[in-house]
Amino acid sequence: MPDWLTTSFAQPPSDWRVLAFRLVAAAVFGLLVAAIYRATRDLSRVSASFPGTLVMLCLLIATVTQVIGDNVALAFSLVGALSIVRFRTAVQDTKDTAFVIFAVAVGMAVGAGHLAVAVGGTIAAGSVAWLFRDPVRHRDPHGSRPYHVEVRLGWLPEAGEAVRRLLCRHDAGAEIISAASAKKGALLELTYRLRLPRGAGLAAIATELKALESVESVSVHQPGADA
């Protein structure tokens, strides 16, 4: 066997049983973070893959911590290497950012062998998240799904109000989440968020909206449905 190959692996990182235990523990704690997230947050505001991302993040941070160990130079090298990573989708809610840090902290604690810190941090952060959880009406209830309805319409004073009234007939909690102009200000684009029962007639809702005066186009889609 070549010398360069044997010397490259002359010093194994740690006992494989310790490594396996820490990675399994990181996955378990990641699942706990994701479960807390699903129980306290409005899932219609983010991608459906976000809870799974928290689990992977916790596991990967634990892995990176194992690689770093007590090597300060390696720690700085890994920070520089990881700094090139960019998220394609920005985290828009500060609570979601807190959950990302939550997963990172727990993964780092498990990877460094501080299981008590991971347990205490999970209990403390989970309790705070539960205390400040989203209202029940904002969380995903059984039998309904969140949808985004995008409507493009002309600049009539009553047009936007007519759209709102129609959507509120299907969901009293329907709310506008964005508004923008199009075609150099000739049209207005409105995006509403609402919840509809499973199997709701989306085509019928789109037809009702299209029948309103000045409505140019209608688009209905489910947020978080990864393409």
- Choose which CATH entry (3.50.50.60, 3.30.70.260, 3.40.718.10, 3.40.50.2000) describes domain 144-221: 3.30.70.260
Give percent of the chain with pLDDT exceeding 90: 4
Is the pTM of the predicted complex or chain greater than 0.95? no
Q: Mind spelling out the 3-state secondary structure of 4-57?
A: HHHHHCCCCCCCHHHHHHHHHHHHHHHHHHHHHHHHHCCHHHCCCCHHHHHHHH
Specify the pLDDT at position 83.
61
32 versus 112: the higher-pLDDT residue is 32
Q: Mean per-residue pLDDT for 90-101? A: 73
Give the chain's mean pLDDT.
76
Residue 99 has pLDDT above 70, yes or no: yes
Q: How confident is the model at residue 32 (pLDDT cuts 50, 70, 90)?
A: very high
Smallest CA-to-CA distance from 22 within 64, 63, 56, 67 is with 63
Note the pLDDT tens digit of each residue in 35-81. 998 888 776 556 667 788 889 888 888 887 877 777 777 677 666 65
Q: Domain ranges in the chain? A: 13-138, 144-221
Measured CA distances, 86 to 41, 62, 146, 210 (Å): 24, 20, 28, 39
Give every CB contact of residue 22 below 8 A, 6+ residues apart in sequence.
62, 66, 110, 111, 113
Residue 31 has pLDDT above 90, yes or no: yes
DSSP 8-state assignment for residue 93: S
Note the pLDDT tens digit of each residue in 179-209. 887 777 677 888 888 877 766 677 888 888 8
CA separation for the pair 99, 104 (Å, rounded): 9
CA separation for the pair 128, 142 (Å, rounded): 25
Residue 226 has pLDDT above 50, yes or no: no
Q: Mean per-residue pLDDT for 97-126? A: 85
Q: Which residues on neighbouring strands pair with residue 179, listed in sequence order?
A: 190
CA separation for the pair 208, 197 (Å, rounded): 17
Note the pLDDT tens digit of each residue in 148-182. 888 888 776 677 788 888 888 888 778 888 888 77
Specify the pLDDT at position 29.
92
Q: How confident is the model at residue 88 (pLDDT cuts 50, 70, 90)?
A: low
Residue 7 has pLDDT above 70, yes or no: no
The tokens of 87 are what?
């998220």
